Chain A
């Protein structure tokens, strides 16, 4: 008994000792838990509060309203219109099958379209918006509205979308918008930032160049959401900003005229203010309706545009590298004068052909022009004369002058990513690019704008403008600079050595248009108000063989793709010139018969509208 009781005491002592150890342990662990709680809830509270808000608040972005394009007179040339759309949020529809079949009937959807919609439905989450139709006609839209009573969960929506009221007139200049794709999102930060499903972004032209200004900012809706992303309540609505409106220097009337003139032909016309560099019109033909692309072009329409032999997708004004033909002659002549190779009285006898370095070079006039001085040679576009001065001048000196006047480099810099540089060849270029030495014969054909030399229509227009303004550098522009508007800059950089030489060229171009025997004499306007000076050009597409020469076919007898390109450059009015233009008609045959008459119509309209343009200018001055 004593034994047992002493054992009991020892047992209890051990128990109490261990109880004490356990108790202390519990105490410290408890302190540990409390400090952990303190750390999370008090010390790191901010961090977790932010995380919790990030969890529960979600933003919904709405498509931003895109900025508009205006012409010089404030007409909207790329605007927004209210598109009637039909949205369905699948989870809000009780009987989706019934509703979607009802909608199919009402909208008369084809099976193909219907399948597409069902596929789209399966790809999205049930609380996301399913866009059944993005551009409904008013008829169908009102039909849906009339049947809303048994279309539970269907939402007719009026949404803002792009519209090009002048259709094909501005296509190449403005470009068009279409659904943003992966590539757009990846390459442009702004698009990435503002992206919402169905967002339309500029694909080509100015729509693409000015994407960042035009895009605007999203409306933002902030919702409280649950763990599954379902909206519980709206917390905030933040109105976005509309994109910037961009005003162009373009005159819509002239632009429309250029489109009419080039109807059914491939080619380009551009018109430029010779002092401000403002582009008055810039058109490439054939064109297409950009509205087709806004809601995704149909396969049929796309094939039609893509397979057109006249290549409507090419912006010929900027992308078209053409041999300038005789339109290069003013530069060749100017270069020869500037370099002191010839004086205006330098005379060459034209026999219709000439032999140089063992090769025969033909003048366009078989019988020959006889004795030609500079002015006459320009006027009648005598090839023999220019063969001779090109030979004396050499291609390197010629290329220096040509580049000075804006040939061989991009006119708009980085504004259009599609713009081509053209090509002004010289001996060094050939050695680097082709690894061959320059041949003298190549210099000779360069003198009449054939061979390696290539220019874009906009370059020819700039060249003409810079000759017309007395040989001063200008910087072409399409966008009206709101700050210094259309003020003519007094300080021009001269491009010439001797201003007299420019006068000589201007005068020769005057002769070419306004004097008997001039190549574009038939397109002249006698009224000094509209009188213009120009230079025709005919660029060979195919090398002319001896056989061709014998046949001497008329233009309409040659197959279309072998016909010469017709070119024309001009400026006017001759006294106090203000505008320059360049025209090219692909496979148009002859510059003087195809291109020059267009210039006549254009100058009438351009000069008539000059006062209106000035009025806008003055109004702006008054406002300031």
Chain B
């Protein structure tokens, strides 16, 4: 009650904000950062090379950025909801026109000090945008045709821009982020069920439209031994690495699969494989627990928040992070076809980490300003 009266004013002092931090979440993020650095060190063959250094720099920079964001009032995040979304859309258009092409897809913008991947940022800002969109909406309005159409356009526009890059994986993740918001906003569950049904029915037609390499991935997923040295190679080698880790793993820097370069893309999408090979089931479970705590804290912060915007953002962001982790792990454990999806914080990649840290920053801001209501 005391707090309630005090916090009607917008001027919270620095020390109060500092005290109001979610230290469990912060500890988990830092722990995760430390683990990811150690793993990156291992991918460099036990030496401090390019990936380790670069990952370290980004981790430090973005952690401070996250802390800085925590001090920014949640109202600010609310206010830039649409604007930031439009900026990222602009960046995606820019990418489409002038982006850098690498391994056959045009995903990056050269910002001289960093190669930015706007599609990664979109994974966060679409949540921000939709959260703002639904914040003031009455429950009756939520299920109106107009609302549904608008929100679908908000989702489909960036998806389209990412698909043409081409990058199916990220566009699916963007869609999932958006759909998470729609779900929490209270769109009738019938729509979700019908969409699911529609998707399953149209799956054969979708497959017909897939690019050959995407089709190959699906086929390979269904039977990796079909072409063990070609497209099935990644799944097989990844499963071998994880499986050979055993209960306690082969030991730090002793993962033969990665050390001898059998693992594909071990810095990015397959980083969990290396970790799992070296630290075994116990290590992997520990990592999953850290992720579980992070997600739990995000959701808890949402529950404690006063504003509907903060709640819906936290819930959706928590769900999105959960989906990223699930998709990445299912992929490396051979439960899903290979789609390019990084493991948050663990994987090497500036844009992905930037996006995740922005997300954490906003969540932290929601925690610090949890008594803040937004008109």
Contacts and interface: CB of A to CB of B under 8 A. Distances in A.
Nearest to A54: B240
Nearest to A10: B139
Given A26-B322, A225-B260, A37 B242 contact: yes
A15 B311 contact: yes
B285 A37 contact: yes
Contact of A41 (B186, B276, B308): B276
Contact of B186 (A11, A51, A226, A227): A11
Contact of A14 (B186, B260, B299): B186
Contact of B244 (A16, A30, A51): A51
Contacts, number: 119
Nearest to A44: B243
Contacts of A30: 288, 292
Most buried by B among A8, A15, A227: A15
Contacts of B138: 7, 11
B184 A15 contact: yes
A232 B243 contact: no
Interface residues on A, range: 35 or more
A33 B329 contact: yes
Interface string B160-203: 00000000000000000000000110100000000000000000
B51 interface: no
Interface string A222-236: 001111100010000
A18 B312 CA distance: 11
Given A45-B246, A48-B242, A56-B256, A37 B261 contact: no
B82 interface: no
B121 to A, nearest CB: 24
Interface string B271-305: 00000100011001100100010010001001100
Contacts of B43: none
Chain B residues touching A, majority SS? helix
A437 B203 CA distance: 81
B333 interface: yes
Contacts of A225: 260
A367 interface: no
Interface string A34-73: 1011101110110111011001100000000000000000
Given A14-B186, A40-B242, A227-B261, A19 B303 contact: yes
B270 interface: no
Nearest to B326: A29
A12 interface: yes
A40 B247 contact: no
Contact of A11 (B139, B240, B288, B330): B139
Interface string B306-333: 0010011001000100100010011001
A185 B54 CA distance: 53
B49 interface: no
Contacts of B295: 26
A429 B246 CA distance: 74
B262 interface: yes
A197 interface: no
Given A18-B184, A41-B242, A55-B240, 16 more contacts: A7-B138, A11-B186, A15-B184, A15-B312, A22-B319, A30-B288, A33-B288, A36-B335, A40-B242, A41-B246, A44-B243, A45-B245, A47-B243, A55-B257, A226-B261, A228-B261
20 contacts: A7-B139, A7-B140, A14-B139, A14-B186, A15-B312, A18-B183, A18-B186, A37-B276, A40-B239, A40-B243, A41-B243, A41-B246, A41-B284, A48-B240, A48-B243, A51-B244, A52-B240, A52-B243, A52-B257, A224-B256
